[in-house]
Structure 1
């Protein structure tokens, strides 16, 4: 990708800050694996990782782009009430760095505990909207699998007037030393390195690079998927069967009518990692999310950025009714119900069958 292309500065800062945050979160994983390092009886490790990563990401971006807004999953309310937890997060934030001095110098960090808390709240209190530039982040997408040392994502996306412009997905445990099928698995973990980063800029393609300890590693372009000859029976779904918000009875009927395998051939907890799977693992090619409750709307940080990556590798992303997924309605995808992310050649087939199944027991 040319360094003179549109959003080049934003992309470089975004990639560097995700790399720094990913390194911090992976250090927590290493501590979890030491018996006496962290209390594993509650969610303290992932709580610390969430807060530290959000503070670090927003600090770097707010310093570089002071007029931009933020939407993040966390607020600092818990830290303001728990001094011990606050001190542990502050220690982690204060010690965070990249090994390359030039790269590290480009990323601001909070100077005080109060500044750290205020930066966290910039994201946690952010409301989004249809105007201006807004950074959407999930410091640890996949908290349950993070605690198990499995797959998770440090995700970041830039919205401009409600449109996705860039997305960066840091995958600290993603190991890709196998062929192009069956690469993404919860238990296939990069224990020797820092994983992979997948990123995209609207209209400029999707890319992958190794996550490193210092400056950014060289990136290579991910090919657009050549799925023009796919038939409905060739659909291979990635999903999460442990999700309590997905209607698997309806989804199983969709798969049966398409002639696609059931259950889904890949089961991944992290929402953002499912988009990563579409980009790097040719065992799967589609994601369909039919929600149980009509009122359910997904958090924007679970999909922003990942949807852009899917678009840039040749997938069409809509809601269950074939409408564009809106990112301009605040902290959720309020205008959109469910997700269909699939190659253009079969997206229409999936949409047709989903519509039939929903019509038989209308609730959405």
Structure 2
């Protein structure tokens, strides 16, 4: 029997993300989530630290020569013993209930190891070539704190090309438009995954082994062929992007505005497109010409929609380069739309920007 490319990486990534998702779900029931603001004013919780340690522990044990890019570092934990203790407890007491599945995943054995694992994701990469895992332990921390939508994100980039993407969405409820407050309160949410050239799958998450028997392939997005069929996902709370220009883009396309779906998490916007959650496109026109997105906000999620026939480019129509380190350094802004209408959306963006 022939093993499909990246089968081992995909299996381990799905297990690691599911365990980290369980970890975050456990913290959701806590009144005090260990929340504070980072220097850039974005919120962070002990779930971010514990999930990063948990995922890196699994990946580094299985693929010790691979590089890792993670969002967090351990500075705050090293200066706050109480925060470290809570993070260590959360990271080391959360396990998959299936011993066979859990056996694939390493767990930090000491507080020092936990700190070192977190910092593996913070080190500068020695080369942008080769295998690099990118992770965002909690994409959408602000909405996570409110019990709304967020994603646990892991991606493998090899020689600058996305190969594997896995997103765990613990609060995702299927069956209607994706909404911050439409939360899966009875289950564990959904796990989305993609391997380049192999399509995108979705399956429910559980607390044990992977529920592969309930996995299904998502259909390609082929029915959107006209500008007026575009349905945007955006966020009205954005502070880094030009929502006024986004509105002009919608007017150019004669499609609904305000945006059909409003989600804070960048990765959840890809998820909403992939699952047909009331939207099929998004644009991002930054306020600052110097603005560049972080790779962990997009890698993996991009692959999910690209495997479904959605094109992802910058504002000039250039493919997004995921081989530039911690940021999408060569990418100014984003245009994400089904292949058949991408050129039309790109032109609408150009006109809306006055170019």
| TM range, smaller chain | over 0.9
Question: Following the alignment from structure 1 to structure 2, what is the Cα–Cα distance between the partners of residues 189 and 115?
Answer: 34
CA separation of 1:284/1:3 partners in 2, compared to 1, >3 Å: closer, same or farther? farther
Aligned twin of 1:31: 30
Shift of 1:112: 1.1
Aligned twin of 1:6: 5
Aligned twin of 1:349: 344
The one of 120, 123, 146 aligned to 1:122: 120
- Checking the alignment, whether the CA contact within 8 Å between 2:36 and 2:44 is kept in structure 1 is no
Worse-superposed segment, 122-131 or 214-223: 122-131
Q: How does 1:189-200 map to 2 (within 5 A)?
A: 189-200=183-194
Shift of 1:110: 1.3
Question: Size of the alignment, in residue pairs?
Answer: 349
Residue 186 (structure 1) aligned with residue 180 (structure 2): yes
CA RMSD, Structure 1 to Structure 2 (Å) = 1.7
- Checking the alignment, whether the CA contact within 8 Å between 1:128 and 1:331 is kept in structure 2 is no
- Checking the alignment, whether the CA contact within 8 Å between 2:34 and 2:45 is kept in structure 1 is no
Aligned twin of 2:205: 211
The one of 66, 74, 77 aligned to 1:79: 77
Aligned twin of 1:275: 270
Q: Secondary structure at the match of 1:31?
A: coil
Question: Following the alignment from structure 2 to structure 1, what is the Cα–Cα distance between the partners of residues 46 and 199?
Answer: 34
The one of 218, 223, 229 aligned to 1:227: 223
**TM-score, normalising length from structure 1?**
0.93
Question: Following the alignment from structure 1 to structure 2, what is the Cα–Cα distance between the partners of residues 43 and 88?
Answer: 17
Q: Secondary structure at the match of 2:25?
A: helix
Structure 1 segments unaligned to the other structure (5+ residues): 33-37
CA separation of 1:282/1:125 partners in 2, compared to 1, >3 Å: closer, same or farther? same
Structure 2 segments unaligned to the other structure (5+ residues): none
Aligned twin of 1:35: none
Residue 333 (structure 1) aligned with residue 343 (structure 2): no
**TM-score, normalising length from structure 2?**
0.95
Q: How does 1:76-115 map to 2 (within 5 A)?
A: 76-115=74-113
CA separation of 1:139/1:282 partners in 2, compared to 1, >3 Å: closer, same or farther? closer
Question: Following the alignment from structure 2 to structure 1, what is the Cα–Cα distance between the partners of residues 62 and 253?
Answer: 48
Q: Secondary structure at the match of 2:45?
A: helix
